[in-house]
Each structure stands twice: as C-alpha cells, then as structure tokens.
Structure 1
Amino acid sequence: MDFSHELIVPEAGFPFKLFIFEGKDGNYYRDRHWHRSVEIFAVCGGELEFHIADRLWHLTPGEFMIVNSNEIHSVDSPLPNETIVLQIPLKLFENYYTGEQFVWFTHEPGRRDDRFMELIKALYRTYSEKPCGYDMKMNSIFYQIMYLLVKDYRLTEADDESVRRNKNLNRLSAITSYMKENYAGDITLEEVARVFDYSPNYLSRMFRKYAGITFKSYVQNIRLEYALKELESGKYSITEIAVRSGFSGSKALARAFQKKYGMLPSEYRSRMSGSVKKQKD
C-alpha cells in the first residue's frame, strides 16, 4: 500500500482552497494519500470513485464526498468529469473538535444534500464570475457550507482508536512535509529520525503502522511524483530529471518508474507529447 501526505494551501484572500478537480479529463488515478484539511468533492457531471478504508464509493452527478482530515483515500476518474473540490483547513473546526485536533464527518447521504450541492456550485460560480463584492459573497456562502457541515454531517462521538490514529498521522504529516522539501538530497531514515527526535526503529514502525508503507518506499514515491511532473513539463532530459528528483541516475529512475506506472519515462514522455499535439490539432 502506497500512501502519501498531501499539503493543502488555502486560496489567497480566503480561508479555503477551491478548484476544479485535476482529474477532469479522465484517465486519472491518485494513489492513496492523506492531508490534514477536510476535503469535499462535489460531482456536477461524470463520475468518480473513492476508496476510503475498505469501502468503495461511486459518485454520480449531484453527489459529493467529504474526506476527513488524516483519512487515507484514493480517487479514480477513468472518464471525463466535472467536479468541484473544496479544501478546508482543519483549524477552522477547532471549536467543534471531539478529540485532540480531531473532528469527523460522515460519508453517508444526509437530508440536506441538495442544499449542500447548491451551495458548493454557487461558491464556484461566484469565484468564476467575480461580480462586484464577490469576496464577501464567497465568504457568506462558505460559512453556510461550514454551518451545514458541523450541524448535519459532524459525528459528535469519537472512539479512542480513531483519535490515536489521527494523532500519529498528524506527526507523520510534519515528517512527510520535511521529506518533500528534501527529497532531492540523500535523505535517510536515520537523518529524518534525528531531525524529529525519534529512534530510526520507532520512525520505521510509525510509517508501516499508520501510513501502510516503508520509509524507503515513501521516499521513492515522492521522487517519482516529482519526476512525473518534470517529464510532463518537457524542460529537462530524462537524465537531468533523475538527478533533480533524487535518483542515482536514469537507470534507477527507469526501474522505479516502470514498476509504479507500467512504462518507461521515455514512453510516458512520448505519450504526453502525442496528447498535447492531438489537442493542438
């Protein structure tokens, strides 16, 4: 299982981040990951699939998914879709915590789902059109969404195991953020353990137990994610990308890339170039 931590940065001037899902064109899969913010996917067209814990959720137009803070999940969008994503920093819910930095929302459909979807759509429409005073209108809509979240979707009881897991994933979030900042260097388990004042054995167990992945595999996944972005940009050669991403060379990158994505970096770059050319034509 390959899990990773995703860092969420709020929209400039607003206490949230709002955008159209990056998998809107289809043929997209986001590996299992987690983040400290609450994330809402509102499907307006097409379909999406979510894997959360051991359950599969299939979303169709008019449905949405609330992904909790530190909830490990993956997203699959094989076909084109229209999905609005709203990401809310966990801190905004601090008055409603049911445990230590812990708040939890249900995934089950609620009686106010139609109203909730209307508000998400209105928020994005206002953001896109930017009428006079749109910033005040957006904040007004956003806090109506927040009200429904805490009133109709928040669970008021938390079990000890969920709170404990949340606490440990919070710790891992800080560690993985550090790793993402230093992925290009010779980053080791011993070095990261020293920085965060853990023993290497304890840190290794934390990754296995709470993130479901080894430290070494996590580092490699980070490097592959950045290599993928560099390949898409077309700015550097594959050898340069390997070095910039922290691999020992192009052969090491090729082995890891093929194992994870089922093709060589050169094949992926060719496919991307062909796709861009087709769109231009």
Structure 2
Amino acid sequence: MSDLSTKDISYEVVHYHTELPFKILNIHKKDLYPNKDLSSVSDVLDHWHSELEIVYSYSGDGEYYTDGIAHKLQEDQFIIVNSQSIHKVISNRTTPYEKLPPTLTTVIQISDSFLRNFIPNFDELYFKPVFNPEEKRPSEIMKDLAQYADGKALNKYENMRLIGLVHELLYYICKDDLSLKDTEMPEKSRKNSDILRKIISYTEENYDGDINEMSVANAFGYSASYFSRFFRSNMGITYKEFLTRMRVKAAKDSLTGTHKSVLEIAMDCGFSDSRGLINMFNKYEGITPLQYRKKYAEVTPLAR
C-alpha cells in the first residue's frame, strides 16, 4: 500500500524511518472516510513498488487486489503483496462508518534488499497473497508494530526491538507462505504484469499532457482495440477511467497544496478546461473542486 496522503498511483518510492529498512503505517478510517460516511470514500489506485508489503486487517470490509485478483479483507487476516506486484485497495462501501474500527489496517513495507540478505533466492520466490496463520503470534506482532507506525520517535535501542519483531514476523510468513514463483505465477501473468507496470509508469509521467487510450496504445505498439481489452481484463477498469482518476487525484493534491485557480489546476492535470475537471471531480468526489478546497485546506495548509 502507498503513502495515502501523497501519490498512490504508479511506482512508489517508499521512505523509511531512520536506519530501519521498513516503514510501518496505520490506515485509519477517518483518513479514508473524510465525510464520516460512505459519500466520499478514498481508494488506493493501482501502483507498485519493490518492497514486500504485509497488510494486517482489523475489519472484514474492503478488497485488496494483487496482480488483478481480488481478496476480500477479513478480520485478523494478512494480505501479502509481493515485490513489484501491481495492487490496489477498494474501500468498504456497505458497513456504516460508526461500525468500522478506528484503525482499518496496519501495513509494513519491507526493503527488498534487506530481504535478500536473509532469503538468498528471494527473486525466485512468491508469497501467497492471503496468509491465515494458525498461531496467534503473527497477529500479536503486527499489533505491537502498529504502535510504532507513521514515523513515531523511538527510544534508545528501540530500533533493535523493531527489527527483531519484523524478523520474527517474516519467519512465520516464510515458513508457511513461500513457494516458487513459477508455480504460483505463470510466465504469461508475469509478462502481463511487466507490461502493466510500464503502462502505469508511462501514464504517471504523461497524465498532464494530451494523452488518451489510442496514443498510449501507439506508444506501446498495440492496436487500440487490443490495448483496450488487455488493460480492462488485467486492471478491472478502462484505461480512460484509470487516466481520469489519476488526474482527479493530482487535482486534489493541488487544490489543498497551492493557491492555483481551478482552471490552472485543470490544465496542469491534463483536462482541456475547468468544466472537465469539475464534472469528473463531482463524479468521483461528490463535491466541486472549490468545495473540496474549502473543506480540506485547513487540514492540509496551502503552500505560500
């Protein structure tokens, strides 16, 4: 999972706590449900990173997609996202806000180079996406690690304790959940994932320009019809929707982080005019860009 307050599309650069080769995040319901209801729910769109991601769920709501396969979240369940796997999170849209736990998931992103020190054939192995341990200990470890989330300052020598906990957690996952990549992920699926990572990265680099499904298909040497089928079958949405949602996400960051006008933001984010941004913003956020700025500018101070 990505840092939800910044970009959550494409390749993600994970920033670690000082001297620790992993990052711990708590995903709170107040961050995903800013209106404290289901009228505006934040999803984490398709992205990838080199880190191994371990997700622990405190509720049975929402779906985690890894390499195009949906895994419904369950309470006390682990989702493992392999290094370079394309993944996204679709938030709960049925359970009332007040019935959701304050913290929805705890996420650990672990450096792939750190893992190679202890798993020599790391690149040949595949962690099964759903991990349901028989022992209680892995859940206890995750709840303990959750106390150190979001860059919390550490006491003297406390980093050694955290590294020990992460090692112990990896022990349980590796002994029960590792298999050869060739048996779990056929060559065709691996090739498709490689292509999709390139398409996502290309879109991230060019979404602010004049691109569309046909131009991206041409850039990768595909016919428009093949590209359309390929993208939708592997990503679950059309390329047009993917591109639009990326542009809306960029506009949200600009609305709360700059003093730019709606027209300027629309042009910066690849929309042809302000009306295009307003229409899509209403569709995905349920409010206008200016209403969004007014509501959240106090939470995210404007740049000066």
TM-score range relative to shorter protein: 0.7 to 0.9
Describe the shift of the 1:64–1:75 C-alpha distance in structure 2 as closer, same or farther (beyond 3 A): farther
1:81 to 102, 127, 131: 102
Once the two structures are TM-superposed, the CA of residue 26 in structure 1 deviates from its matched residue by 5.0
Give the alignment's TM-score, normalised by structure 1.
Answer: 0.75
Query: Normalised by the size of structure 2, how large is the TM-score?
Result: 0.70
Aligned position for 2:266? 242
- What residue is the counterpart of 2:139 in the other structure? 117
How much has 1:95 moved relative to structure 2?
4.2
- 3-state SS of paired residue (2:279): helix
Report the 3-state secondary structure (helix = DSSP H, G, I; strand = E; otherwise coil) of the residue aligned with 1:228.
helix
Q: Counterpart of 1:174?
A: 198
- Equivalent residue runs for 1:23-172 within 5 Å: 23-25=29-31, 27=33, 28-31=41-44, 33-36=46-49, 37-43=51-57, 47=59, 49-52=61-64, 53=69, 56-59=72-75, 63-69=76-82, 70=85, 72-76=87-91, 78=97, 79=100, 81-82=102-103, 83-89=105-111, 92=115, 95=120, 103-112=126-135, 114-125=136-147, 128-155=152-179, 159=183, 163-172=187-196
Tell me the CA shift for residue 30 of structure 1: 1.1
Letter in 1 for 2:168: Q
Against the structure 1 CA distance between its residues 207 and 223, is the aligned structure 2 distance closer, same or farther, given a 3 Å change threshold?
Answer: same
| Structure 1 alignment gaps of length 5 or more | none
Distance 1:17 1:95, change over 3 A: same
Give identity over the alignment, percent. 25
In the alignment, the residues of structure 1 paired with residue 20 and residue 191 of structure 2 have an alpha-carbon distance, to the nearest angstrom, of 27
| Partner secondary structure for residue 242 of structure 2 | helix
Alignment partner of 1:21 out of 8, 19, 27: 27
What whole-Å deviation, never above 9, does each CA across 1:94-128 have from its counterpart, x for those lacking one?
7456xx7661325252112x211232344344563
Residue aligned with 1:21, SS: strand
The alignment covers a number of residue pairs equal to 265
Instruction: Tell me the amino acid that sits aligned with residue 81 of structure 1.
Output: P
Q: What secondary structure does 1:120 align onto? A: helix
Name the one with the larger helix percent.
1
* Counterparts of residues 200-239 of structure 1 (less than 5 Å): 200-201=223-224, 202-233=226-257, 235-239=259-263
